Amino acid sequence: MTGASEETPAGWLFRLGRASATRPGRVVAVWVLAAVALLGASKAVGGTFVDNVVLSGTQSFTGAQLLARHDPASSGVTGLVVFHATRGTLRSDASAVSAVTAALGRLPHVLAATDPLATDPPTVSADGTIAYSRVQFSVNPKTLGPSYLARLDAAVAPLAAVHVTTDFGGGLDALTRPRASDLRSELIGVAVALVVLLAIFGSVLGALLPLGTALVGVVAGLGVLGLGAVALTFGTAAPTLAVMIGLGVGIDYAVFLTTRFRQALLDGVDPVTAAASTTASSGRAVVVAASTVVVAMLGLYASGITFIGQLGLAAAFGVVTSALGAVTLVPAALAATGRRIDALRVHVPVAEAGTNDDGWHRYAASVGRRPWTYLLGGLLVLCVVAIPLLSLSVGHVGDGADPTSFTDRRAYDLVARGFGVGANGPLTVVLDVRRRSRADAAWASTVQARLAATPGVARATPFVATPDHALLVDTVVPTTGPQSSATAALVTHLVAVTLPSAVGPVASPYVTGAVAEQTQFDGIVAGRLGLIMAVVIATAFALVTAAFRSLWLALKAAVLNLFSIAAAYGVVVAVFQWGWARSWLGVGQSVPVEAYVPMMMFAIVFGLSMDYEIFLLSRVQESWRATGDAPHAVASGLARTGRVISGAALIMVSVFLSFVLSPVVVVKQLAVGLAASVLIDATVVRLVLVPAVMHLLGRRAWGMPAWLDRVVPRLDVEGAVPVVAPADE
């Protein structure tokens, strides 16, 4: 006899879950083989990851394009080779230095390499012990691979015999900086996640299942990302983001499904049916939550900067594969494990739902008695943590923040000691003089003098004409370092004030170079952060409204998430700008917050916070539909999800924090910011503010105007799913 059930809103997910659960071996094998094949194909034919930011139409971009067209030898990416004489001076070994710079100039993809002792003026320190050669590359050195670094080392090796050390900096940092290996971070995150899962489920199998399925999903996502890099240019942080987000949400989704599955087993349901009904109920919450995260990630394209949008796309790959694994691989693994999920116990497993007098119900009742106290207290905590946000300074994290063991950091320090810290971030001024009838030397000297007299300028070199005399090119050295806000202000002042007044209408001035490009990139990102926020909030608002049929709940979710994100921003500013515990993270100096980190954090945090929002509200809604008792629904939902949400958040925090071991400061900032945001969201917001607000709203929380209810499409998240008797064999 075959059991039957009436059609449910979760029909397709129920059928998908049941199909996976009835053929668990086949589904698991397909997933594992697909993940291995995708990753193998990515390693064999996948693309590379390069930070390639194109800002068409900006001052810096136009100036760089003009320079490339009229003087190719001085365009491209500039790297620095810094020489340091440990005995005597460099001039005593001038022939060796000249031979080395000539060898550098003969390397593939090198347009030119200057001899520091022969240039006019020489790029040698006053005491003659430090000098640098500018090496112009036709391509980004990052794309040349580790083998090219060996060629650089071979070219400068003869100087060791004359007691001259060499270090590589400038645009070479992307090539010389040790490649970030996330394996150690991932292993630490997985180990901590395993401990937390053992505490949640009380059994070895119960802990290993979410971990194993999440890892398979992440591997598949990395494979897809690598293959996608063949056609798209992803930033160097893309794989790290995909792993961080994919592993975090993958474990979370599997934890929520496994918790519901175990509860069904305790209620006497057979494993196959329990896996199918779990997919139909909690699986729907997974789909909605994952959709919210993906939409938030893709919302980064609204920045108008492809580099940032594709970082969001990279993270979305990890979320999509994790969600697909949650509704197919997880039910298959659950059915295969069956009632043995509680075998190999380390402590007695706890049911999903507690009794009416358990700790979570008592806590919910306490919130219900004093909702205003909990609401105002929680908001006060978030506002205090967010205070550092008021001094937020965005900018670029340069070589000066790297450990002293890195060659780019040693090069940075040597240049700063020999020529001033501003020499690490020179500005290139390009004058298009094709409209001038005569670009005489006196006029160029006047412009140079105006540049040199500008506050914040240490020195300005004489203008040099390009071979075709179409452009005049000058180098301006700031008094401050490349990551200083004063340097960014100088770039803005030169573009807006100094050059227009000095040059007049007969020439077109441009400020270009790495620092100018970064400054204009920072300005564009800061100007579009509000747009990103609006897009992400509006989309999440619409999803929550459609899912829970309530304007109040959608508004609550948006407002409280903003408080949560502001607090997370405050933590990042305190750690990296103010220097609180900075040394523990291996960051050599206080640094600004990388310009795109707030934008990335907003999209990621808003998406992830909606995960917990949806899982909590779905259980509250389920109880509300069953009882119509608002206070009881809040208590029941909190009791059913509080322990699991807390455990899942602890896992995600551990995964994120493990990435502070990365040598890349931007990854450290994202890791700290995301860990802080999840911790804040899962504790203060989800367990204090949300129940307080829902108690204050009462029955109104589930209200929606009739006219709007007819217009907004229905998105059922997690409702009652009938239990289906298993088919007779």
CA 719 to chain centroid, in Å, comes to 34
- Domain with residue 111: its CATH number is 3.30.70.100
Q: How far apart are CA 613 and CA 648, in angstroms?
A: 13
Do 439 and 457 touch, CB atoms closer than 8 A? no
Residue 501 CB burial class (10 angstroms; 0-12, 13-18, ≥19): exposed
The verdict on 386 and 466 lying in the same domain is no
* Residue of 112, 67, 176 whose CA lies nearest to 512: 67
* Residue of 278, 568, 588 whose CA lies nearest to 416: 588
- Structural domain count of the chain: 4
Do 276 and 5 touch, CB atoms closer than 8 A? no
DSSP state of 336: H
Structure tokens at 535: 């897009």
The verdict on 378 and 419 lying in the same domain is no
Place of tokens 């670029």: 396
pLDDT value of residue 248 = 83
Residue 475, φ and ψ in degrees, nearest 5: -110, 125
The verdict on 566 and 694 lying in the same domain is yes
The verdict on 346 and 360 lying in the same domain is no
The verdict on 370 and 311 lying in the same domain is no
Residue 125, φ and ψ in degrees, nearest 5: -65, 165
Which 3 state secondary structure label does DSSP give 414?
helix
The verdict on 95 and 206 lying in the same domain is no
Q: Give me the DSSP letters along 360-397.
A: HHHHHHHHHHSHHHHHHHHHHHHHHHTGGGGG--EE--
pLDDT value of residue 121 = 75
Chosen domain end from 519, 546, 562 = 519
pLDDT value of residue 363 = 83
The verdict on 384 and 470 lying in the same domain is no
CA 679 to chain centroid, in Å, comes to 17
480's enclosing H/E stretch is none
Residue 4 lies in a domain: no
Residue 255 lies in a domain: yes
pLDDT value of residue 48 = 80
The verdict on 163 and 266 lying in the same domain is no
- Domain with residue 679: its CATH number is 1.20.1640.10
Structure tokens at 33: 């083989």
The verdict on 336 and 360 lying in the same domain is no
pLDDT value of residue 392 = 87
DSSP state of 300: G
Residue 397 lies in a domain: no
CA 527 to chain centroid, in Å, comes to 19
Which 3 state secondary structure label does DSSP give 177?
coil
Do 523 and 491 touch, CB atoms closer than 8 A? no
Q: In order along the chain (729 residues), what is the average pLDDT of each group of 10 residues? A: 42 87 93 94 86 78 87 79 91 91 92 86 88 87 80 91 90 70 68 78 81 92 92 85 86 87 86 90 82 84 85 90 93 91 64 56 83 93 94 80 82 91 90 72 87 92 87 91 88 91 85 87 83 81 79 84 90 90 76 85 80 79 82 82 80 83 83 90 87 87 78 62 41
pLDDT value of residue 38 = 94
Residue 459 lies in a domain: yes
**Burial profile 538-569: b = 16 or more Cβ within 10 angstroms, e = fewer:** ebbbebbbbbbbbbbbbebbbebbebbbbbbb
Q: How far apart are CA 370 and CA 382, in angstroms?
A: 19
Residues whose CB falls within 8 Å of the CB of residue 653, separated by 6 or more in sequence, listed in order: 675, 678, 679
**Burial profile 583-618: b = 16 or more Cβ within 10 angstroms, e = fewer:** eebebbeebbbbbbbbbbbbbbbbbbbbbbbbbbbb
What does DSSP say about strands 394-395 and 593-594: parallel, antiparallel, or unpaired? parallel
SS3 content of the chain, % helix, strand, coil (to 5): 65, 10, 25
* Residue of 297, 729, 395, 391 whose CA lies nearest to 580: 391
pLDDT value of residue 10 = 52
Chosen domain end from 519, 553, 578 = 519
460's enclosing H/E stretch is strand 457-460
Q: CA dist 257 to 454, 682, 726, Å?
A: 63, 18, 20
Chosen domain end from 519, 541, 567 = 519
Amino acid at 196: V
Residue 54 CB burial class (10 angstroms; 0-12, 13-18, ≥19): exposed
Q: How far apart are CA 313 and CA 232, in angstroms?
A: 10
Structure tokens at 286: 């997974």
Q: How far apart are CA 675 and CA 128, in angstroms?
A: 48
The verdict on 432 and 488 lying in the same domain is yes
Q: Where are the alpha helices (DSSP H) in 628-681?
A: 630-658, 665-680
Structure tokens at 302: 């609204």
Amino acid at 257: L
Prediction pTM value: 0.78
Q: How far apart are CA 643 and CA 646, in angstroms?
A: 5
Residue 140 lies in a domain: yes
pLDDT value of residue 178 = 65
Residue 480 lies in a domain: yes
Residue 123 lies in a domain: yes
**Burial profile 625-660: b = 16 or more Cβ within 10 angstroms, e = fewer:** eeeeebbbbbbbbbbbbbbbbbbbbbbbbbbbbbbb
Residue 477 lies in a domain: yes
The verdict on 585 and 652 lying in the same domain is yes
The verdict on 368 and 339 lying in the same domain is no
pLDDT value of residue 225 = 93
Amino acid at 128: G
pLDDT value of residue 56 = 75
Domain that holds residue 374: 354-392+533-713
Residue 484 CB burial class (10 angstroms; 0-12, 13-18, ≥19): buried
Question: Cα Rg for the chain, rounded, in angstroms?
Answer: 30
Q: How far apart are CA 460 and CA 130, in angstroms?
A: 20
